[in-house]
Amino acid sequence: MNLERLDAYRWRLPRQGKMRVDGLIYASDRLMKVLRDEQALTQVANVAHLPGILRYSYGMPDIHWGYGFPIGGVAATDPDEGVISPGGVGYDINCGVRLLRSGLDRQEVEPELDRLVDALYRSIPTGVGSHRRDLRISRKEMDRVLRQGASWAVTQGFGENADLEVIEEGGRLPWADPVEVSERAKQRGSDQVGTLGSGNHFVEVQYVDEVYDARAAAALGLRQDQVTLTIHTGSRGLGYQVCDDFLRIMQNTSSRYGIELPDRQLCCAPLRSDEGRRYMAAMAAAANFAFCNRQVITHWARQCFEEVFGGNPQAGLDTVYDVCHNIAKFETHLIDGQEVKVCVHRKGATRAFPPGHPEVPAPYREVGQPVLIPGDMGRYSFVLVGTEKARLETFGSTCHGAGRLMSRTKARQKARGRSIIRELRDAGVVVKATGRATLVEEMPEAYKDVSEVVDTVHEAGISRKVARVRPIGVIKG
């Protein structure tokens, strides 16, 4: 792949063939050595063929191969001339991350860590097909969930209004329409609100082990040795079904609208078409389901902290922020000095709006939107904030995580004869998982070191480091 180096952390993939724009990849030298042999760079070039794509086809430093779009890919399209591609959102619609802060210190939590992890594991269903017997959503209520998102959960007693103030989009995409969500998707989601699922999803007890920006950390309510909790999950079977349904629909639309694509997995429809509008409405409904899911899990997690730490007033969990990683949304951005409405696809990427932006919650407006970057369960995760450079250069986007280094098959081969649970326990991390397979596939060495990814976006200026958190307890599917 012919790449031109722009500076220490940016690489240009020049237009060739029927590409409509260049590619722009963010990577350090070390990350680029891995990327050069990846199919993901070819996918960056493929995305550049989409009608109406604006400025660049982007690859973040955690980029790796995905369905159609690379995971870690960003593309903005013109609302009038452009398209929407389900592959640019992915199967796990609004897979995202929520960070909660407690008033407890690490020293107070560690003696009770086993009890806490056990309580979380009992309370939050995990694993493939996990479901709840105590919260089955009726058909009528499901439509409300799909319209209202996290606010539905709060009205049912699963949380507080204060939570909604610090969720991306307030925890609800208003253009959602449950009519466009198939009955099969609704059925799959009926008993999955408040469940974690499998794969790389987790609930993680952590502590702040390093603060890089004291002012921003204080604005986010974070301090050294403070215990936090991260929830990473999405729209479960409902979102998967929405994606699957519309991929089948759009396999035929591209040719019907005269759209030439280098990869069938990029199937798409004009944003102004009936198919495009229908997908956006169904995708938004699935995103609302995911917001609701993380809100309900937050409620169960709060109960677990109360159960383990009794009446300790410092044991409460406040939401710091909740971000989407797989989403497409209409946003206003600057292009050639003009404010323009665009549709931003972020697949394995995080919104990173700067200080002063009106969509940044008031408590954080002086420092910028919180950006939550989970790593692997054996090392660390990061909290960053958005920047003006991201707004101007990447449509307000940055990375979303460590990015896989090994396939799941390779990880299973690498783990033969090992006890990953014991290795993590020796490293100070208590883990409970539904089965060995998922734990092996998600072992720390299967992922890039997230610090390299975060350092890249920090040095490139598209987000800024605030704090690092280390895991001490994890539940997984």
Give the active site residue among 232, 333, 345, 400. 400
Residue at token pair 């975060």: 454
Rounded Cα–Cα distance for residues 230 and 372 (Å) = 9
The residue among 354, 361, 332, 355 whose CA lies nearest residue 344 is: 332
Beta strands in 283-325 (DSSP E): 318-324
Rounded Cα–Cα distance for residues 87 and 248 (Å) = 12
For the chain, the straight-line distance linking the first and the last C-alpha, in angstroms and rounded, comes to 37
Residue at token pair 């992890």: 117
With 0-12 / 13-18 / 19 or more C-beta atoms within 10 angstroms meaning exposed / middle / buried, residue 162 is exposed
Residue at token pair 């991201």: 390
Q: Reduced to 3 DSSP states, what percent helix, strand and coil does the chain have, rounded to the nearest 5?
A: 40, 25, 35
Q: Which amino acid is at 343?
A: C
**Is 400 an active-site residue?**
yes
Q: Supply the DSSP symbol for 101.
A: E
Phi, psi of 160 (to 5 degrees): -130, 155
Helix (H) or strand (E) holding 179, with range, is: none
Task: Tell me which residues are annotated as active site.
Answer: 400
